[in-house]
Chain A
Amino acid sequence: MFFNSSAHNPSLDEFREEVRAFCRKEISGDFGRKLELGQHLEKPEYDAWLKALAGRGWLAGNWPKEYGGLGWEPEQSAIFNDETARAGAPWLIPFGVTMVGPVIYTFGSEEQKKRFLPDIVANNLWWCQGYSEPGSGSDLASLRTAAVKGTDADGEHYIVNGQKTWTTLGHWGDWIFCLVRTDPDVKKQKGISFLLIDMKTPGVTVRKINTIDMGHHLNEVFFDNVRVPAENLVGEENKGWDYAKFLLGHERAGAAGVGKFTRYMDQLRAVLAITNEGGKPLSESPYFRRRIADLEVSIATLAALSEDQRTAFHAAGSPSLIGAGALKLRASELQQEILQTMTEVLGRHGLAYQTDALMAGWNGELIGPKESAGILYEQLIRRAATIYGGSSEIQRTIIAKSAFAG
């Protein structure tokens, strides 16, 4: 259809106000200040925020009610994502609630649902993603971490050997969901299984990866003869690739992070207002005014694309491939463009990058606007936006394939 129906739903205005009020209350004081400065959060701070959301049922608001969710419609989820991002809320760590949770409630056993879902809804455990490997990035299906089935005195199990990489915040992880190879002799997509692994199991080692922003967010996870009970297999053996694809669709159906862009634009306006050129605020510069207008055209387009995807999802039960690809592509590129523009402003202050200022409690002398370090950190780390979750090149390949398939 050319234009899906997507009328404004006034019954959700109250919910929007409720989320706003919640954010105003929770994102305040030292916590609010840290977020404003873009400082790195510690695990307890993430947990406190996620727990607060869980307390309202909002953490897993879009989950079906039978699994502890509120059964939100996509529209309501979008409002929630949008408002929390606008308010500068911490990243909604997706590994449990957006990724492994839906896989478990869709494909997992009753036993697994009982065992894992309540802890995800309540944010009691920290989940990590074990997908990429050093040799398997864009070509994820070539993954080689092996899980070999066996039996011992304690029962059926898998022995896992191999290595995962780019594991975000894996150093805080309690559990990791992994794609592992259970059959090496079939077409590569056909021999993959979806396994849940307790990271405290002997043989699991987490090693940090330093990134270009000079921070520690990513990790390698090594598996050396790790014994995983067979009951931790989700769904059927060798069907893991299907579950991974389901998960990807689930992930994409959600947000393009438009709320976050609104937040970025606020920051851009703030640094423009306090940066002078020739003694005049840069916010008066014709170039930057035009730049803001230009970025807002892109943001409005992205918001419309995101909403269209949502209604299409609603109508057809699945997002369109082209739409999902376009959303990932444009959202990631736009994010980088906004951050480049902010960097252009900070160029006027000499581009000092005081990484110490990203740590709470630092009270050295700042160079440039107070947000500088946080913006430059984002500028660097968001280079990954066009790489992770299917690189821009992969997105274009998917879109092209879909286009040529007619």
Chain B
Amino acid sequence: MDLELILMQLFSGLALGAILVMVALGLTIVFGMLGIVNFAHGALFMVGAYAGLWVAAQTGSFWWALLVAPIAIGVLGMAIERFLIRPLYGRSPDDPLLLTFGLGYVLVESVRITFGTDGIPFSAPEALQGVVDLGVGYFPLYRLFVVGVVALVLLLLWVALEKTRFGLIVRAGARDPLIMKVLGVDVGRLWLLVFGLGVGLTALGGVLAAPMRNVSPEMGTLVLAEAFVVTVIGGMGSLLGAVVAGLLVGIAVSMTALFAPEMATIVMFALMALILLVRPQGLFGRPGAGA
């Protein structure tokens, strides 16, 4: 088989994986720090895409959509944490799980009622249309842009978590909220910000993914399943795990589509089963780690 084709498929896998990284990061941040499995995460990805579509339609600018929609949906996420999830802290872990499961349905149906059930095209800006010569072949410029944006977000996130006082508080709060309380940190406010950040990241994934597919109410369903697979492969709660596993799954799906298209949809599950057999805690998870 043509080496150029394989390399092109590899780049396609990177772009697909980059979107998965954004969604899985949000999922794993919220799980790792708040101990909540957010089943509404896929729906919030979809709402992010619709918010981007709406902002782009109002302003005529993709760039405004890319900036405003994740922030707005992140704020919506903070409201969800404050008014719906916070009253459930300290209760059975099933309660927030059921709540977010139901919330996912409410969000999907709300979007269906507002925007209809048909997929809506969302074009990339003119500056990002076309292809670019990578030396081994031509690659869609927009997909390259997606990989670049995700790399930048990862860099900013790493700096924020590892090099700032806020990051120190978040890391410590994730490991031991009690000690942070007795050292004067309002942990409730911290969780509000963390939940907003997690939701903002998935919304950013939604806006970035929108020009690569039609925006539809169901677009979050498959992404949620994929993000769960990525989170489990990487290790629940591990940020590095989400990044590595996201790219791994993206590339695995893309390469399988090239060699055995009929296997493409199940390869990630096979990969998850294989990794769990060898490392039950996932690639970067800690044994027995949980909320």
Q: Do A and B actually bind?
A: no
